[in-house]
């Protein structure tokens, strides 16, 4: 069962936290989340699941930025959400999808107990100009049946865009790659 917009409002501060919260963003059965002003792109030609891949940051200027096809862009929501006793899920808005912009390539389903900003895996079918602060996706809440544990893993309590940390699962004793600085090679770009 999916929560209605009225039920989302009823559970705010209890099972649902959205910060910042704007009541005008509540839909009949979802809540719109907005795009932060930074993107991240991988700098590797071939991405490697077994290691941290270098990334570069891009700031979205006021006039927007054009996303190119065949390029994965990682973004994040402005809003930090926390969910208890429900399963959160993000979906692209239909108005965004009709421009050929996917906002989550495969990972729209969240875990009960997740707290943090949502990393968006953005992919454009054709060149499309995007703007920071746009209502880019919507969060949906599903009822959860049965005993459950809350999410406590590598992306919990994130405060930034999160590139893949799959390498931590593949090498559980990973204590950092001596070839990779702790900031994963993050560089800021304003282009």
- What's residue 67's pLDDT? 98
Q: How many helices (H) and strands (E) does the chain have?
A: 3, 11
Across 109-118, average pLDDT: 91
pLDDT digits (tens, 9 = 90+) for 42-57: 999 999 999 999 999 9
Residue 144 near residue 83 (C-beta atoms within 8 A): no
DSSP-derived pairing of the beta strands 55-59 and 101-102: unpaired
| Burial class, 110, CB count within 10 angstroms (exposed 0-12 / middle 13-18 / buried 19+) | buried
What's the distance, CA 90 to chain centroid? 8
pLDDT digits (tens, 9 = 90+) for 59-113: 999 999 999 998 999 999 999 999 999 999 999 999 999 999 999 888 788 889 9
Q: Delineate the domains of the chain, giving CATH numbers in brackets.
A: 5-170 (2.70.40.10)
Question: What is the chain's Cα-based Rg?
Answer: 17
Question: Annotated catalytic sites, by residue?
Answer: 121
- What's residue 10's pLDDT? 97
pLDDT digits (tens, 9 = 90+) for 157-190: 888 998 988 888 887 665 544 334 334 444 444 4
Q: Who contacts 129 (Cβ-Cβ below 8 Å, separation ≥6)?
A: 64, 65, 66, 67
Reply yes or no on whether the pLDDT at 7 is more than 50.
yes
């Amino acid at each position: 069962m999916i929560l209605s917009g009225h039920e989302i409002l009823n559970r705010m501060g209890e099972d649902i936290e959205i910060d910042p919260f704007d009541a005008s963003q509540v839909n009949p059965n979802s809540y719109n989340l907005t795009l932060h002003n930074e993107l991240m792109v991988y700098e590797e030609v071939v991405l490697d699941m077994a290691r941290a891949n270098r990334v570069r940051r891009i700031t979205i200027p006021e006039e927007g930025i054009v996303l190119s096809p065949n390029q994965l862009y990682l973004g994040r929501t402005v809003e930090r959400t926390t969910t208890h006793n429900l399963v959160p899920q993000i979906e692209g808005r239909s108005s965004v999808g009709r421009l050929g912009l996917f906002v989550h390539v495969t990972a729209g389903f969240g875990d009960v107990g997740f707290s943090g900003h949502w990393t968006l895996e953005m992919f454009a079918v054709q060149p499309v100009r995007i703007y920071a602060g746009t209502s880019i996706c919507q969060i949906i809440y599903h009822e959860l049946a049965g005993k459950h544990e809350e999410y406590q893993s590598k992306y919990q309590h994130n405060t930034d865009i999160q590139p893949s940390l799959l390498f931590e699962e593949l090498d559980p004793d990973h204590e950092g790659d001596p070839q990779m600085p702790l900031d994963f090679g993050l560089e800021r770009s304003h282009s």
